[in-house]
Amino acid sequence: MKPPFRERLDFDGANGQVLDESRRYMLMRPEALMGLFRRLDDETRQKALDALADSVIEMGGDSARAYKVHGGGDVDALLSTVANTAPDLGWGAWSFTHGPSGIELTVRNSPFAAGYGPTSRPVCHAISGMVTAVGRMVLDSDDVVAREIECAACGAPACRFEVRQA
């Protein structure tokens, strides 16, 4: 069994990088990232948030595939690894439920919601992207999408996502 994510990170100060095997990470304040989206007009903001989700589907999918391989391909192991890795990345506390109709995810303390601040529309597109990538592996279909159905930035107690066939 691999050690927890935070213990696998190589903080290479000489080269100015943080690595998990060949995957590079960086630390950034959520307010800095989400402040970019807050400064955009509504139409541009939506396009940019959607682009962030698409990018995370691709890059997060790469990480999730590595987690799935290390977990022997077991779906429950994959969901557990993703849920246990999210806090180490600063992505909040994740809790999955997996049933016949799909996957549900509850995220307490989303950095995206906290970094964006109060709003009338969900803003955790990065999490939606990651959960879409994971959902495609769990449900064994590329025709899967995650949707944020409640967001802490909109006043909900936690962010909630559902993953279903598109």
Residue 51 CA to residue 141 CA, distance in Å, equals 21
Tell me, yes or no, whether 84 lies in a domain: yes
Query: How many domains does one find in the chain?
Result: 1
Q: Which domain holds residue 47?
A: 29-165
Tell me, yes or no, whether 140 lies in a domain: yes
Please give the full DSSP string across 107-148, using - where no structure is assigned: EES-HHHHHH-S-SS---HHHHHHHHHHHHHHTT-SSEEEEE
Tell me, yes or no, whether 4 lies in a domain: no
Tell me, yes or no, whether 5 lies in a domain: no
Tell me, yes or no, whether 14 lies in a domain: no
Tell me, yes or no, whether 73 lies in a domain: yes
Tell me, yes or no, whether 11 lies in a domain: no
CATH of the domain at 89: 3.30.1380.20
166 residues of the chain, pLDDT tens digit each: 678 888 989 999 999 999 988 889 999 999 999 999 999 999 999 999 999 999 999 998 888 887 766 556 688 888 998 999 999 999 999 999 998 889 999 999 999 999 999 999 999 999 999 999 999 999 989 999 999 999 999 999 999 999 998 8
Tell me, yes or no, whether 66 lies in a domain: yes
